[in-house]
Structure 1
């Protein structure tokens, strides 16, 4: 019950913030089985602040003059990136015993971050799958990873239609899909042909010539 009241108070801070007038975002959350009594928040270059946890292992922080983009929080030896845009009030809850897998976001800005963290976790699992696909012929391998990318694009389009996604989110989500796809293509010849340089060079060219246009 206390957690719901806590989140409601954070939401009230943003009621008067119009879409065009907000130049800040609020982040906060709860850390279960905390390793230290603080978290550190970074932007793309520097440390923004070190924030002490309260008696319930929670914190709240307001980032002024927010520049839309990725930010990072660190707790103990773990780090995680999150996307912030003006007007967001992003709350998270995590357990240090299972950091990435336990991380769940709530509040304004949560849906896009939950989408991105789920996509990240799924990509980690797909890496093992891709290595197995590397035993296939170049044509069969390309067909497999084309299918994976098509499914991801379908999922992203469905998400975009359901939610009012920003241009920044759309670019990041699409870039993640494309990065995984082309990384898989780069890995294939080295795994499939190993030290056979002649075959490696020949089929390295072949697999990239089969790449469809985005």
Structure 2
């Protein structure tokens, strides 16, 4: 998509409103077309630096007295994107939320770098599609050659940019890492994706040079902690190392980890042995915990995992969030009481989940008005189930949907009003029923849990 920007408007904004830069302060401002929130929030890592409210013309501005040079991100709910800031910068953005990333344009100081990072971000999706559609099927030598050619092409673009814009050391490091770690990740997942694409029984034996870049990996770079390509690489890399370590010491060699508890124990140990930087460690440990707990729901295995997690990362900055997830899963094991969650009826009255499931068999399913394809498919599936399994009552729970939009969708599909409800508290619903994946459903019998982790498309109830 072409990025259409009224250049005259941006130049006018810069000329009329940009403050005089000092050696330490930063001015960050912009205009948001079709805003989806009243605020823009600026983050450095996981910490909010400041927030700014949009004015009557949908413009915002931050005047920061002092900043650390590096990568930040700004959030305009529900979207977010990078911005690189250095002392003395005046940076402007303009975007349209209908095409958030595609319409975003930076101007002002460091505009070249910020637009370059955005370009890499947008191109990553195309490269990802290329990998899955064509390149993962290639044999080792041809795959390595293709990946290296693509990587060098982007590195040359960066060198050309650097010769014109004279990037700072930190800016150059971040831009180069954004390129390198994108392509290094593809090499980390290649053995597993290649095996799957070609339906082979064994992983290929790789030449020693295939992972030559690993000698230069920095496991503790604070400048890169929240750079998406670096973080995604770390997840794939540590997963690869964990599997290979397990293959050698535990006798697994077919490219599939059948015992998720065992495999994730390896991942915890691998992070502990390689990553020293506290914030990166915490984020990676959190990723392992969520990935495991959302996939595996056995109470005994989960207890073993949590004990192991506490041993490696008991002071994790995400520990309360992880404990809530663990507790939520523990509370919805088979034969547990249905959680006391309040829902809003089509007539705006409150009703509890236990009351809706008393003295009958119920399948609770979930949908959001923000995803039309998903909810239409869900509704079609529910209509099929009503014919196939009429002994159940099917109750839909909508979340993250405006009340008027929710009622309009319900009326459009001519649902029985008694079968549709809206979550009063999305966070309570999420933590109590663990809304993952999107197609999940909860099966109950007389207000007791039968299966809280079923899928609306399965035929197991």
With the length of structure 1 as denominator, give the TM-score of the two structures: 0.88
Aligned counterpart, 2:154: 152
Aligned counterpart, 1:49: 50
Aligned counterpart, 1:110: 111
Aligned counterpart, 2:287: none
With the length of structure 2 as denominator, give the TM-score of the two structures: 0.42
Structure 1 residue 53: Cα displacement: 0.7
Distance 2:14 2:185 in 1: 40
Aligned counterpart, 1:8: 15
1:82 maps to 2:83: yes
Structure 1 residue 209: Cα displacement: 2.3
CA offsets 1:165-184 (integer angstroms, 9 cap, x no match):
11011111111121012111
SS of the residue aligned with 2:137? Answer: coil
Aligned counterpart, 2:169: 167
Map 1:14-163; keep pairs closer than 5 Å.
Answer: 14=21, 17=22, 22-131=23-132, 132-163=134-165
Distance 1:39 1:12, change over 3 A: closer
Aligned counterpart, 2:308: none
| Residues 28 and 62 in structure 2, CA contact (< 8 A), matched pair in contact too | yes
Distance 1:6 1:152, change over 3 A: closer
Indicate the structure with greater strand content: 1
Distance 2:75 2:57 in 1: 18
| Residues 10 and 89 in structure 1, CA contact (< 8 A), matched pair in contact too | no
Distance 2:27 2:41 in 1: 14
| Residues 67 and 85 in structure 1, CA contact (< 8 A), matched pair in contact too | yes
Query: CA-atom RMSD, angstroms?
Result: 1.9
Distance 2:79 2:27 in 1: 21
Higher relative contact order by CA 8 Å / sep ≥ 6: 1 or 2?
1
SS of the residue aligned with 1:134? Answer: helix
| Residues 40 and 75 in structure 1, CA contact (< 8 A), matched pair in contact too | yes
SS of the residue aligned with 1:67? Answer: coil
Distance 1:34 1:71 in 2: 21
Distance 2:201 2:83 in 1: 41
Q: Gaps (5+ residues) in structure 1?
A: none
Distance 1:26 1:108, change over 3 A: same
Structure 1 residue 6: Cα displacement: 2.9
Structure 1 residue 137: Cα displacement: 0.8
Structure 1 residue 9: Cα displacement: 3.1
